[in-house]
Amino acid sequence: MRKLERANYISEYLEKLYPKTPIPLTHQNTYELLIAVLLSAQCTDERVNRVTPLLFSKANNAYKMSALTVETIYNIIRPCGLAPKKAKAINELSKILISDYNGKVPQDFISLESLPGVGHKTASVVMSQGFGFPAFPVDTHIHRLAQRWKLTNGKNVQQTERDLKKLYPKRKWNKLHLQIIFYGREFCSARGCDGTICPICITCFPNRKKPIITNKP
């Protein structure tokens, strides 16, 4: 099976498996989504979703969040990794949103990535899931699976993103990136599959005998 055939098979398989793709991080507005995605760095979505209800009950917009001290934010988000750094970033970006964007989350990559604690992946998730702009955020699951499925050489997440964007039309990006994440968690996890176990790996590479070693993000 050639790469394009493989890519098409995978997207069709995932569409049947996950016809609906609910956003994993609980939020009520784009500001809450931005904060939740920031918190999800080196932290599971499940843990973030346990932490954010208390945080957002106190502050669900930039104005209320900027009124909280960094210490208050830290004490709430402490179960998430890198809490001291994240608490400071949340406080600072909230103040910037007020001073530069009238308290609203900007709808472009350059502005988003200029905010404290917001990298390209976080900006991509907000643009995709918050504003519906075509984007292909690459997390650890997508980076791993794209390598196992030989859709990229996996040199780094930037290369993986470029390769996937070339293979798939823009109209598929927003849904497909979630479908790959869901599949990675359920069938092709870091320890649950080595490139020779899950249904897609077996179908696409029936003669593969050795485990696939993937580059980490």
Q: What distance in Å separates the CA atoms of residue 67 and residue 90, rounded to the nearest whole number?
A: 11
Give every CB contact of residue 12 below 8 A, 6+ residues apart in sequence.
none
Q: What distance in Å separates the CA atoms of residue 109 and residue 193, rounded to the nearest whole number?
A: 34
Pair of tokens at residue 149: 């499925």
Catalytic residue list contains 121: yes
Q: What distance in Å separates the CA atoms of residue 152 and residue 148, rounded to the nearest whole number?
A: 9
Catalytic residue list contains 163: no
Q: Which residue among the candidates 139, 150, 209, 210 is catalytic per the annotation?
A: 139
Half-sphere CA count of 36, side-chain side, radius 13 A: 29
End-to-end distance of the chain based on CA atoms, in angstroms? 27
Q: Which residue among the candidates 121, 150, 165, 216 is catalytic per the annotation?
A: 121
| 193 phi-psi bin (left φ>0, alpha ψ -120 to 50, beta other) | beta
Catalytic residues: 121, 139
